[in-house]
Amino acid sequence: MELFKNIRLKIGNAILTKKMARTKRNVYYSSFSMVKSIGIVWDASNPNEFSCLARFCQKMYERNIEVKILGYFNGKKLPDQYTSNIFLTCISKKEINFFYLPVSSEANSFINNRFDILVDINFRKLFPLKYILSLSNAAFKVGLFEHKTIDSPFDLMMEIKKPVEVENYLIQVIEYLEMINSGTVKTVNNN
């Protein structure tokens, strides 16, 4: 069974690589004061992290920054706190095809949204979230540093002591983004 899953994931990765080769994205970041929207991809398997994300969203709303979170929940029933939120949409196994590619309209909409910043909170590297992150049209992508990463989708990588706590991670992401003043545009072609 595990071998079959690995073959399906390999094919899914091949499809992703092919799509990335055809994708161009303008990387842009000037300063945090110019940010109007933040997207977050989140491994929603740990409901305890939700309160940290809700506090983060509240802080950003106070700064007039819209936050949208796309979570992937692998369980059978969504936890109650995940439903009826304006900032959170969760996709589940039902919205993943045979090769683990997200096929929901929510995932497509998230990919096409031109967020000023996209933050990766997919620490277990779940493929459906990796797919969304990699193809996202976001202007600037932030994620954890990995030594093995050859073709990282990130424009800024954070090296944080493990285990990574979501609240601390988000605080550090914002602190680093507030230190950067760039204003440069770079076109990324994923060939």
Burial of 129 (0-12, 13-18, 19+ CB in 10 A): buried
Tell me the per-residue pLDDT of 64-110, one tens digit each, with 9 for 90 and over: 999 999 999 998 888 888 887 889 999 999 999 999 999 999 999 99
pLDDT of residue 25: 86
pLDDT of residue 24: 86
* Average pLDDT score over residue span 125-133: 95
* Average pLDDT score over residue span 2-26: 89
CATH class of 2-189: alpha beta
Tell me the per-residue pLDDT of 152-172, one tens digit each, with 9 for 90 and over: 889 999 988 888 999 999 999
- Where are the domains positioned within the chain? 2-189
pLDDT of residue 183: 57
